[in-house]
Structure 1
């Protein structure tokens, strides 16, 4: 099928686990003619859940792409994982689409995954649609759910169709206003959404007030509707049943007629090397700009970089650069992904989603371009949750250290919320993810794909160090070795910064007492000391270092001398500045049966947690919100499983750092002293 940018629709399906996204993904592909037979999650035959673990577990772990070619529309559809453990892959899809369709389980109502994805889509400036799924279930109280959605997310949430015949079908209430429904007048719903749409545009509002609805052209309605979506003035509510197909074809029609195309949606912020905004337009004739939002290490075709084209046209044999690299690569094969199938295509135009294979240098969030004539740019990064749950690991079999390192590197390429850390001082490799389930899945994937098994144990908590007061330090480095000597003297000042401010290095040297060429060496020494810590061996943060005086020797002064002088002057100052250890405090959300509330809140309180509140969910479930030190939650997965009989689940997000209690700091310092003395 031949199509252009104006006929492309890019849509991500997101929402809470169990809302039916994958089944809906199948239903949309079937209704759009992309597949002949609709697959089943239970049978492991869906287009999106192709990974062996996805089939075994019965839920999505990664995102999956497929395309639907309609007579007047080309739809790029992305199915994302619902479990909070796999949010990294879900959120990365938001970098490629104009619209996020949040799928809501009609039986369960608004769940915390619904809220989370609605907020993230709003932050990104994406059009949002609420897809109420499973409308044919007996427990679905749809009228009450609509009111709950409007109360939770705003009065801009309005139905554009309504269920009829107990959810067996839906009736359009935007373009058509005849017929009856189960719980509301179609004419009333039609009027409410029409009033919401026309008020966004003065010209459309004027025509409507002067001559009524008949005076509005289809193009005027489309433009006003699209503007409402783009500005968050309207969040359509659509009713569907992925199981029976009710409302599925109607949603595809809505996408074709009313959802924004790549030229209409809010473009994400592009920045140049100076972090200044730069304009990027959906023009096929301009220089190529594409963003890599997904990496797949495929055992058959090698490394795949999946990208969204924002500007220009990519064709086979195009020469592309990665970020600011000077060595181009040639696009030998250009693919469209349809589930696990890779379909070769001739070109990718603005708005397209495509992939290239076997380019080792390509990486997540890379910007692909075809010219260095214009300013190099990058896409403003997505906000991902910090991976706080950690496991230290080592290969189960000797001699597999190199193989383990390569396997971990491949896994980290694919998931922006999976991190690998190497702690030299303890000879320890630590992997971090969003939960114990997240890490368990990643390690099982490593075993299946790369044949590497590991032994795991709890890692060190990611403590940090800082200072509580201002102080000054000094050190003179003088070394005579028979020939040329080493000399450098540094006076500096340290002072605390606000939490989360990071590190600042300030030069206040006057009169050239330290030549400018030695200041980077002083900063290098300071950073070395900060990396190794001063109290308990943890990296330092949230402080300012100001170099204000010193001395040098015209013959003996060298960089190595000022590295040493800067390092020791800094440690001298920190020792006087009341150094403290900071611990990570995480936001905790625990979803549990209501009967377990007392046990769970009591257990959290015993872990120095602060309970912030609770949210009641449908089905007798409660979500407890709290803040707790990460160090207290190392064994929490097994504890929660025991208390709730395996029915509880939780998620963690880094909130902030704060000082540890004095007994904990003393314990950490004493444990570090032997290592410090060895250094």
Structure 2
């Protein structure tokens, strides 16, 4: 396996909406580059990228898949492109988002027959947020009844005038004309000379010398514009459109040329977004001689191989048998067999340099977002957090077979180490374990994997809604805990006041006790009692949020005061204050985005209104589809997937993210409170 220098590496993620043809396009690229003999088929389950049995069954990607290919650049040098195929449906966006931190270019694939879709917009925004070069690949140009001129207009309207074709389809989509290097040819639409001139002018705008030369001579040699082009890509000043057909292969050669000749190498692209423990930016360089820093963007728990970590090298060189560190762990790990991936197949390599994507196995310390490094100076650095959607769809789960509780816990924690859009909660009151994900389909795939890969069956049911409580006004609280049992007694007295904080501000505990009225060593016990009261709620047993608690006075006894007394006094004083602070129940409110035929808009908006929802916006899409945005209480979405399916005859889908919390209607608060028995005294 040849070793490539950083200058001859490129990293690209194929992202975009489900069904846009990313996996088929990846097959076409790999075949054209000679990495596979013939293209596999998604329908037959024979593609390089969709190698998981569940992916073959559902016929779409569930996980990010790493591949690579080699091709010559304009100087005849061989360039390796690490290419990641990502899932396109919102249910599995965690895998697509994670892949963004492994690449320097996000290639947003757009279905020419469907146009701009939900994940087209989202991935463009997320790629911009991560400072990535962006390009758009219009796929399926072989399809009939296309309106490509209109699609180009829509792309420019949606994402800015920086969006410009770098090539154009010709012969009814049978081939593609390069409009950057050439200014002649007959395209299916638009003028090749005009597109060439517009693209060149957009590129030279970022470079004063190139602009001056262009204005003087009236033309520019494209072969001299690599530096301005990479700068324009890096700054988002240009977003090239490439036209292809992953199915027929039209334009695939041209797409490969764009990737190897025009995309920035790791040292030319924007720096990775690392920060230290204080949130300050950390500068890393794509220098193979500096201490190694690599970032884990994907983890897989294989029942046979163990834990597998896929990473991108940002600085330094990783060599076979290196001793490295994971996060702030002081115990080193040994990298015995560094490898690169081609789908599920691995090839061992001697070393990996900045820009390489590699994999190591049997390292239990690795989780998603881990940082692998060679120097302790990097113990506390991390990648700037991604804006993952909050997992809101939940299922209460329990093992189907008694005695499997331990296995269930182990497997769940393995799955959580892989997927940043999964969360696990345990309600001690109800003894309920809740697995939360992005949608019913997301959790269904997790449960199917548990059964198929880990041989564990579980029972599921709808969990209770994660309500919260808060207070509407400030109040004072006081309690004295005194207990005499014949021997040593218990004594503690606490005065405190509470006040509401802004929604989402959290809990704040302040010690304003003067003169040792409560000895300082008992203040943590008071805080524990306060937290106990907050955790168990006041109105209906839900955790209380966004409260500031100030302990300002109290009394102690030189003999009888002890920690347990001040825990109890703190709890009772808190309950006393809560009783006067107008406590109320809050319910989670979610933002929903519904994609559906425009003919169903009236039924959908009416249904949302019946669920106490509000429509906040609409946007038209190609093909008679539209996006309906709104807010709705989470409790009202039980059974919504089935209802939407019925309204749209299976053509609709939706995603949701937590928007915040709001007070529940009074009638609902009374219902929730009626089932709660508060322990006002120690029981």
Q: TM-score, normalization: structure 1?
A: 0.96
Pairing partner for 1:94 from 83, 89, 100 = 100
The reply to whether residue 328 of structure 1 matches residue 336 of structure 2 is: no
| CA shift for structure 1 position 452 | 1.4
The alpha carbon displacement at 1:526 in A equals 2.5
Aligned to 1:535: 539
- Which shifted more, 133-142 or 645-654? 645-654
Match of 2:499, SS state, is strand
Q: Is the 8 A contact 1:273 1:375 kept in 2?
A: no
Query: 1: CA distance between counterparts of 2:267 and 2:535?
Result: 46
Partner of 2:23: 22
Q: Which residue of 1 aligns with 2:194?
A: 188
* Residue in 1 that maps onto 2:75: none
Question: 2:647 and 2:513 mapped to 1: Cα distance?
Answer: 61
Give how far 1:269 is off.
2.6
Residue 392 of structure 1: aligned partner: 396
Structure 1 residue 661 corresponds to structure 2 residue 662 = no
Cα contact 2:116–2:621 (8 A) shared by 1: yes
Report the Cα offset of residue 576 of structure 1: 1.4
**Residues 202, 530 of structure 1: CA spacing in aligned structure 2 closer, same or farther, 3 A cutoff?**
farther
Go from structure 1 to structure 2 and tell me whether the alpha carbon gap of 1:111 and 1:325 turns closer, same or farther (over 3 Å shift): same
Q: Distance in 1 between matches of 2:418 and 2:57?
A: 21
Q: Is the 8 A contact 2:392 2:436 kept in 1?
A: yes
More deviation, 17-26/171-180 = 171-180
Q: Is 1:453 the equivalent of 2:457?
A: yes
Measure the CA separation in 2 of the matches of 1:84 and 1:117.
10
Provide closer, same or farther for how the CA distance between residues 204 and 491 of structure 1 changes in structure 2, counting only shifts above 3 A.
Answer: farther
Q: Kindly tell me: are residues 335 and 553 of structure 1, through their superposed partners in 2, closer, same or farther at Cα, counting changes over 3 Å?
A: farther
Distance in 2 separating the partners of 1:478 and 1:346: 71
Q: Is the 8 A contact 1:388 1:433 kept in 2?
A: yes
1:495 and 2:499 are equivalent in the alignment? yes
Match of 2:282 in 1: 278
In the aligned structure 2, how far is the partner of 1:230 from the partner of 1:559? 59
Between the aligned partners of 1:676 and 1:566, the Cα distance in structure 2 is 12
Verify: 1:2 aligned to 2:3, yes or no.
yes
In structure 2, runs of 5+ residues without a counterpart are 73-77
Stretch deviating more after TM superposition (523-532 or 583-592):
523-532
Match of 1:175 among 173, 181, 206: 181
Find the counterpart in structure 2 of residue 66 from structure 1: 67
2:349 to 345, 348, 368: 345
Structure 2 equivalent of residue 585 of structure 1:
589
**Count of aligned pairs:** 677
Report whether the alignment pairs 1:573 with 2:574: no
Quick one: distance in 2 between partners of 1:152 and 1:263?
A: 30
Q: Give the drift of 1:60.
A: 0.8
Assess if the C-alpha contact under 8 Å between 2:424 and 2:436 holds in 1: yes
Instruction: Give 1:554 shift.
Output: 4.8
Alpha-carbon separation, structure 1, partners of 2:556 and 2:261: 73
Match of 2:223 among 198, 209, 218: 218
Shift of 1:399: 2.2
The alignment partner of 2:601 has SS state of helix
**Cα deviation 1:561-581 (Å, max 9, x = unaligned):** 333333332222222111111
Q: How does 1:1-150 map to 2 (within 5 A)?
A: 1-71=2-72, 72-150=78-156
Deviation sequence 1:214-257 (CA, Å, 0-9, x none):
4x6735x1121111112111111111110111111211111112
The answer to whether structure 1 residue 652 and structure 2 residue 656 are counterparts is yes
The counterpart of 2:428, out of the listed 424, 438, 446, is 424
Q: 1:217 to 1:558 in 2, by over 3 A?
A: farther
In the alignment, what sits opposite 2:517?
A: 513
Matched, 1:470 2:474: yes
Over 3 Å counting, the alpha-carbon distance change for 1:154 and 1:651 in structure 2 is same
Quick one: distance in 2 between partners of 1:282 and 1:559?
Answer: 55
Local SS of the residue matching 1:33: coil
Match of 1:299 in 2: 303
Deviation at 1:481, TM superposition (A): 5.1
Residue in structure 2 matched with residue 630 of structure 1 by the alignment:
634
Distance 1:584 1:402 in 2: 31
8 Å Cα contact 1:104-1:133 kept in structure 2: yes
Write the mapping of 1:613-628 to structure 2, written as runs, cut at 5 A: 613-628=617-632
TM-score using structure 2 length = 0.95
Residue number among 416, 424, 448 corresponding to 1:412 in the alignment:
416
3-state DSSP of counterpart to 2:80? strand
8 A Cα contact 2:303 2:454, kept in partner: no
**Aligned in 2, Cα 1:577/1:619: closer, same or farther, shift over 3 Å?**
same
Structure 2 CA distance for aligned equivalents of residues 136 and 320 of structure 1 = 49
- From the superposition, tell whether residues 287 and 601 of structure 1 become closer, same or farther in structure 2 (CA, over 3 Å): same
SS class of match (1:443) = helix
CA RMSD after TM alignment: 2.0
Q: SS state of the match for residue 411, structure 1?
A: helix
Q: Specify whether residues 269 and 472 from structure 1 end up closer, same or farther in structure 2 by C-alpha distance, changes over 3 A only.
A: farther
CA contact (8 A) 2:272 2:284 kept: no
Match of 2:239 in 1: 235
Q: Report the equivalent of 1:372.
A: 376
For 2:595 and 2:459, locate their aligned partners in 1 and report how far apart those are by CA, in whole Å.
30
Q: Distance in 2 between matches of 1:203 and 1:524?
A: 66
Residue pair 2:130, 2:273 contacting (<8 A) in 1 also: no
Instruction: Tell me which moved more, 228-237 or 525-534.
Output: 525-534
Name whichever of 504-513 and 8-17 sits farther off: 504-513
Which residue does 2:549 correspond to in 1? 545
Alpha-carbon distance in structure 1 between the residues aligned to 2:439 and 2:54? 17
Cα pair distance change 1:332/1:520, threshold 3 Å? farther
Deviations 1:103-128 (A, max 9, x none): 00011111111111111111111111
Show the counterpart of 2:211: 205
Q: CA deviation at 1:512?
A: 3.8
Q: Provide structure 1 residue ranges, at least 5 long, that are not aligned to the other structure.
A: none
Could you tell me how far apart the structure 1 residues matched to 2:494 and 2:547 are?
A: 18
Q: 2:11, 2:504 → 1: CA distance?
A: 36
